[in-house]
Amino acid sequence: MKLKTIIETKPALERLTEKRFSDYKKLREIVKLRKAVEAEFDFYVEQEKKAVEAHAEKKPDGSPVFLEDGRIKLKDPKAKTAFEEELTRLQETEVDDVQPVKLSESDFLSANDLPTPGDMIALEGIIIFED
């Protein structure tokens, strides 16, 4: 599974861990999955910071310069290309430590605890929804 997939699932997984489950073992699997996703997300953030540090234009105090739209101002076109390539390569990194979890309707305590269709789509890479 790609690091990009894991990063994209994080918000939906956080919402899923707020649901109530009928099976303690499934709950533990979800908690372990969330911890693994958060560890990979933290790794991504740290690597992204390093890329920003290497390629961003800096203020006199050493902090990156931001454009009006909130994006980081890069040093020059070469830095922009290198930054984008670095992030793409990072996002395409294969991650083996995150194992998908199988869930079915009966794993949830009630119908109110079921994930939304949008969350189900967002979680496709790390949750296997069974009938």
What pLDDT score was predicted for residue 13? Answer: 97
Q: Is residue 59 part of a domain?
A: no
**How many domains are there within the chain?**
1
Q: Is residue 64 part of a domain?
A: no
What pLDDT score was predicted for residue 43? Answer: 95
What pLDDT score was predicted for residue 40? Answer: 95
Residue range(s) defining the domain that contains residue 30: 3-54+70-130
What pLDDT score was predicted for residue 97? Answer: 85
Report how far residue 127's alpha carbon sits from residue 12's, in angstroms, rounded to the nearest whole number: 11
What pLDDT score was predicted for residue 73? Answer: 93
Three-state DSSP at 93 gives coil
Report how far residue 59's alpha carbon sits from residue 37's, in angstroms, rounded to the nearest whole number: 33
- Chunked into runs of 10 residues, the chain (131 residues) has average pLDDT values of 94 96 95 96 96 94 92 93 96 93 95 95 94 83
